[in-house]
């Protein structure tokens, strides 16, 4: 079960039903490091990932780097997710406002498959060795308020993935914007993530013993195919349906177009009471496994505590917890 789920995350084989559209079928399993597409941040997960326009602060960097343009001081964030089949991932981020119109942030994301048995043709039940799959992305983000309605952000990130004794590493870029249309309170968001070169794995696990006549040290390294990382495009809209000093209801919708899958949609809701207590919900559209989500949050002083639940249909449910510290600038 765990091996199947890892293939879903790493290679992109994530179909639960037959699809008879050739263009769709040929896109699947064509990217590496699919864990880069995981939805993160307890607020974002609770709203089904509808964050490209609704995201504010460092927890939404993975959806739209322009989100840090909403900081009113400094922010520190941590989240932990118990994902499917013993898989886990976590995030840590810090962002700050350096001038009235300039913002910077740093974000670390780590992914771990949990231990699995090493098997081969002679020991199909395991050799006694263990291995895991580990992924890491470290990004630096800059955002700027261009006008009173438009924010723009860009992230540069280092990506590394290791599978047993093989690994790859690369760099990639994200960019995005947040635009207040001034029409009925509608906010538009756009982002493009994981722009980077194709990647190729290397390492001891790809070495094969050969005759000394073919290689000086008696080993020959195999080359894997090159695969692109999972570049995605997001376009979203957000609107506060009603807002006063006590109650606020926000609706957000995103469309997501990855290079290795069909277009999917996310719809999220957030109700806040006195900007202190929050209830969230959402659903994924046209997705093979992810369905509805729910979440809640509470503000205690300058500390925000968030929880999110996500349902993955025939797979398992997941839970995510987030902790955010906000340090407001003196006015």
pLDDT band at 5 (very low <50, low <70, confident <90, very high): very low
Phi-psi group of 264: left, alpha or beta (phi > 0 → left; psi -120 to 50 → alpha; rest → beta) = beta
- Average pLDDT on 40-65 reads 97
Over the stretch 86-125, which tens digit does the pLDDT of each residue have? 889 999 999 999 999 999 999 999 999 888 888 888 888 8
Q: Which long-range contacts (CB under 8 A, 24 or more apart) does 303-312 make?
A: 306/42, 306/43, 306/46, 306/79, 306/278, 307/42, 307/46, 308/42, 308/43, 308/44, 308/45, 308/46, 308/280, 309/46, 310/39, 310/45, 310/48, 312/84
Query: Cα 78 to the chain's mean position, in Å?
Result: 14
Cα 49 from Cα 216, distance rounded (Å): 52
Residue 232 contacts residue 192 (beta carbons within 8 Å): yes
pLDDT given at position 158: 98
* DSSP per-residue codes, 233-292: EEEEEEEEEEE-SSEEEEEEEEEEEETTS--EEEEEEEEEETTTEEEEEEEEES-SS--E
Whether 135 shows a pLDDT value over 90: the answer reads: yes
pLDDT given at position 25: 52
- Tokens 């326009």 -> residue: 53
pLDDT band at 130 (very low <50, low <70, confident <90, very high): confident
- Tokens 């509608």 -> residue: 186
Return all residues near 172 (Cβ < 8 A) that are at least 6 apart. Answer: 156, 157, 159, 193, 194, 195, 196, 229
Reduced 3-state DSSP string for 110-166: EEECCCEECCCCCCCCCCCCEECEEEEEEEEEEEEECCCCEEEEEEEEEEEEEECCE
pTM of the model as a whole: 0.86
Q: Which residue has the higher pLDDT, 34 or 11?
A: 34
Cα 298 from Cα 155, distance rounded (Å): 29
pLDDT given at position 107: 98
Mention the CATH class of domain 2-119+126-328.
mainly beta
Cα 76 from Cα 58, distance rounded (Å): 8
Over the stretch 187-208, which tens digit does the pLDDT of each residue have? 999 999 999 999 998 887 776 6
Return all residues near 26 (Cβ < 8 A) that are at least 6 apart. Answer: none
Residue 268 contacts residue 288 (beta carbons within 8 Å): no
DSSP 96: E
- 44 sits in which H/E element: helix 42-46
């Amino acid at each position: 079960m765990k091996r199947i789920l890892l293939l879903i995350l790493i290679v992109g084989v994530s179909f639960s039903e037959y699809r008879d559209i050739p263009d769709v079928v040929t896109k699947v399993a064509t990217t590496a490091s699919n864990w880069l597409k995981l939805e993160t941040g307890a607020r974002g997960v609770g709203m089904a990932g509808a964050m490209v326009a609704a995201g504010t602060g460092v927890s939404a960097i993975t959806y739209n780097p322009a989100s840090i343009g909403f900081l009113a001081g400094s922010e520190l964030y941590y989240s932990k997710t118990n994902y499917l089949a013993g898989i886990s991932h976590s995030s840590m981020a810090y962002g700050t406002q350096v001038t009235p119109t300039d913002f910077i942030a740093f974000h670390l994301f780590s992914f771990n498959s949990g231990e699995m048995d090493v098997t081969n043709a002679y020991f199909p039940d395991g050799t006694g060795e263990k291995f895991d799959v580990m992924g890491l992305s470290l990004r630096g983000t800059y955002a700027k308020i261009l006008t009173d309605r438009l924010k723009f952000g860009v992230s540069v990130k280092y990506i590394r993935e290791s599978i047993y004794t093989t690994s790859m590493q690369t760099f990639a870029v994200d960019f995005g914007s947040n635009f207040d249309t001034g029409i009925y309170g509608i906010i538009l968001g756009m982002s493009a993530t994981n722009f980077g070169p194709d990647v190729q794995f290397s390492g001891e696990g790809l070495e094969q013993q050969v005759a000394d006549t073919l290689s000086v040290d008696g080993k020959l390294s195999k080359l894997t195919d090159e695969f692109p990382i999972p570049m995605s495009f997001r376009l979203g809209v957000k609107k506060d349906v009603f807002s006063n000093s006590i109650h606020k209801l926000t609706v957000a919708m995103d469309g997501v177009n990855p290079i290795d899958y069909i277009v999917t949609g996310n719809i999220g809701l957030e109700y806040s009471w006195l900007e202190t207590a929050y209830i969230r919900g959402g659903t994924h559209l046209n997705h093979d496994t992810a369905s509805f989500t729910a979440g809640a949050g509470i503000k205690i002083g300058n500390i925000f505590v968030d929880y999110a639940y996500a349902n993955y249909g025939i797979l398992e449910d997941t839970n995510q917890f987030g902790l955010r510290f906000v340090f407001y600038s003196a006015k």
